[in-house]
């Protein structure tokens, strides 16, 4: 009898230990619960690289940053993946082929396993010997190895990633032709008279996506330009409201019309600018003055305007001066609450569900 009880106790101790180990192993890092979505806004100094880690453990990287700098941007992506507890990128979405978005592809695939590349189709900046043509050729070489799956996305497509819903809004110069759930109302901000510089480069062909995660909506249009924004925001807003806006085009003036920014009235906007790239005073003002905005976060202080054309200092990852590589992490609950962590000052701001 005594022997039996002892054995029984030992068994319980082992079971408890096994349970503890299983729970500890399953906990994502940086305080996120297993059901949460994590988004790393990596600093690539005025390019884009945004890493999504879904509750099912899948990963989507939107853009790869710049080439050169001895693989700096690929190193920063790998560091973000490590911090999130993931060892591969399931999907790399290329918004377009400019060097600040697709330049880091060869360096990235050397440093971390990648599953599938998603893009808008053929490059349109085809000037022979030009920087975009070179970047595109390097990407075609990577695809030609046969190691990766490849998808071309079209407006209205839903990407195959699990744990969040990713709907394509724009691709290859075309935009979504019907309102999405929550959209379909007349957009009052279309009456604001506005003319912005025209841009007929790869920017206008950006592959843009709307992400639904629980009650939250996140919009990332790459460098999509204002003439394309007008097509799905005027006269009818086909997107409805959006909680988190990744400010298009690093905050450069050919993007971010009032019809888009005011029309979707984001609670939070995150700008992937550099000290001397993007962060145009007009765009920062548009975002800061948009109705319902709670916070604009900037990866860098913008030297194009004074403090009055920048967000408050605590919402800037990299203050004036040398680049520090500081980033933001957004952690979202499917119930609609979320936090933004600034690796610069190590502070976290919490947003209650609405
Ligand atoms: Zn860009």
The CATH number of whichever domain residue 61 belongs to comes to 3.60.15.10
Q: Residue 144 — pLDDT band, cuts 50, 70, 90?
A: very high
Residue 63 CA to ligand 1 centre (angstroms): 10
* Span from the CA of 100 to the centroid of ligand 1 (angstroms): 5
In a domain, 21, yes or no: no
Give me 154's structure tokens: 């079209």
pLDDT for the residue 47: 98
Q: Which residue has the higher pLDDT, 200 or 175?
A: 175
In a domain, 12, yes or no: no
Write down the pLDDT at residue 25. Answer: 41
Give 14's pLDDT tier (boundaries 50, 70, 90): low
59-117 residue pLDDT tens: 999 999 999 999 999 999 999 999 999 999 999 999 999 999 999 999 999 999 999 99
Establish if 7 belongs to a structural domain.
Answer: no
Q: Which residue has the tokens 């690796």?
A: 343
Ligand 1 centre distance from Cα of residue 93 (Å): 14
* Cα–ligand 1 centroid distance for 101 (angstroms): 6
Average pLDDT over residues 292-317: 97
- Separation of CA 243 and ligand 1 centre (Å): 22
- 273 CA → ligand 1 middle, Å: 9
- Whether residue 7 has pLDDT greater than 50: no
- Rounded average pLDDT over 120-131: 93
The confidence score (pLDDT) of residue 279 equals: 98
Structural domain boundaries, residue 343: 34-351
CA of 85 to the centre of ligand 1 (A): 28
Q: In whole numbers, what is the pLDDT of the chain averaged over residues?
A: 92
- Asked whether residue 294 is domain-assigned, the answer is yes
Task: Tell me what the mean pLDDT of segment 230-256 comes to.
Answer: 97
The CA 123 to ligand 1 mean position distance, Å, reads: 15
Residue-level pLDDT at 185:
98
For residue 188, report the distance from its CA to the centre of ligand 1, in Å.
29
Looking at the predicted structure, is the pLDDT value of residue 27 above 50? no
**Which residues lie at CB < 5 A from ion ligand 1?**
100, 223
Which of 17-31, 241-255, 340-354 shows the lowest per-residue confidence on average (mean pLDDT)?
A: 17-31
- Residue 19: inside a domain, yes or no? no
Give all strands (DSSP E) within the chain, no chain letters.
37-41, 50-53, 59-62, 89-93, 114-119, 149-152, 165-171, 174-175, 185-186, 208-213, 216-220, 236-237, 244-247, 268-271, 295-300, 316-318, 328-332, 338-342, 347-351
Residue 13 Cα to ligand 1 middle (Å): 56
CA of 47 to the centre of ligand 1 (A): 5
pTM above 0.85, yes or no: yes
Indicate whether 211 belongs to any domain. yes
pLDDT average, residue stretch 211-228: 97
Confidence at residue 26, expressed as pLDDT on a 0 to 100 scale: 39
Expressed in angstroms and rounded, the spacing between residue 247 Cα and the centre of ligand 1 is 11
For residue 85, the model assigns a pLDDT of 96
Q: Is the pLDDT of residue 324 over 60?
A: yes
- Residue 98 within a domain: yes
| Distance from Cα 225 to the centre of ligand 1, integer Å | 11
- Give how far the C-alpha of residue 43 lies from the chain's centroid of Cα atoms, to the nearest Å: 11
Q: Return the higher-pLDDT residue of 129 and 77.
A: 77
Task: Out of 5-14, 82-91, 115-124, pick the least confident.
Answer: 5-14
- Residues 55-59 have a mean pLDDT of 97
Residue 316 β-bridge partners: 298
Return the exposure string of 23-54: e unless at least 16 CB atoms fall within 10 Å of the residue's CB, then b.
eeeeebeeebeeebbbbbbbbbbbbbbbbbbb
Q: How many Å separate Cα 121 from the centre of its chain?
A: 20
Q: How many domains does the chain have?
A: 1
Label the pairing between strands 174-175 and 165-171.
antiparallel
Residue 238 lies in a domain: yes
Query: 253 C-alpha to center of ligand 1: Å?
Result: 12
Cα of 287 from ligand 1 centre, angstroms: 18
Whether 291 shows a pLDDT value over 80: the answer reads: yes
């Amino acid at each position: 009898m005594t022997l039996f009880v002892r054995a029984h106790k030992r068994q319980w101790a082992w079971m408890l230990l096994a349970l503890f180990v299983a729970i500890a192993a399953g906990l994502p890092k940086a305080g996120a619960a297993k059901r949460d979505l994590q988004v790393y806004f990596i600093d690539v100094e005025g390019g884009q690289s945004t890493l999504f880690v879904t509750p099912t453990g899948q990963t989507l990287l939107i853009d790869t940053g710049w080439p050169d700098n001895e693989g700096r941007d690929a190193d920063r992506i790998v560091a973000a993946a490590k911090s999130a507890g993931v060892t591969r990128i399931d999907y790399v979405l290329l918004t377009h082929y400019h060097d600040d978005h697709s330049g880091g592809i060869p360096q990235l695939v050397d440093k971390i396993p990648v599953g599938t590349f998603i893009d808008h189709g053929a490059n349109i900046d085809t000037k022979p010997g030009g920087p975009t043509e070179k970047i595109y050729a390097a990407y075609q070489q990577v695809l030609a190895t046969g190691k990766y799956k490849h998808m071309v996305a079209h407006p209205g497509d839903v990407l195959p990633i699990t744990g969040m819903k990713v709907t394509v809004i724009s691709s290859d110069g075309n935009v979504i032709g019907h309102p999405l759930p929550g959209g379909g109302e007349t957009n009052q901000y279309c009456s604001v008279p506005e003319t912005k510089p025209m841009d007929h480069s790869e920017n206008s062909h950006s592959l843009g996506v709307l992400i639904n995660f629980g009650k939250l909506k996140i919009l990332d249009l790459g460098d999509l330009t204002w003439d394309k924004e007008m097509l799905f925001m005027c006269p009818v807003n086909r997107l409805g409201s959006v909680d988190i806006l990744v400010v298009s085009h690093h905050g450069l003036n050919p993007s971010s019309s009032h019809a888009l920014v005011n029309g979707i009235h984001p609670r939070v906007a995150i700008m992937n600018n550099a000290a001397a790239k993007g962060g145009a005073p007009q765009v920062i003002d548009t975002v800061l003055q948009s109705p319902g905005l709670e916070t604009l976060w900037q990866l860098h202080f913008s030297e194009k305007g004074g403090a009055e054309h920048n967000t408050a200092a605590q919402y800037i990852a990299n203050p004036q001066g040398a680049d520090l590589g500081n980033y933001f992490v957004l952690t979202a609950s499917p119930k609609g609450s979320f936090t933004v962590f600034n690796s610069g000052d190590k502070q976290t701001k919490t947003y209650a569900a609405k």
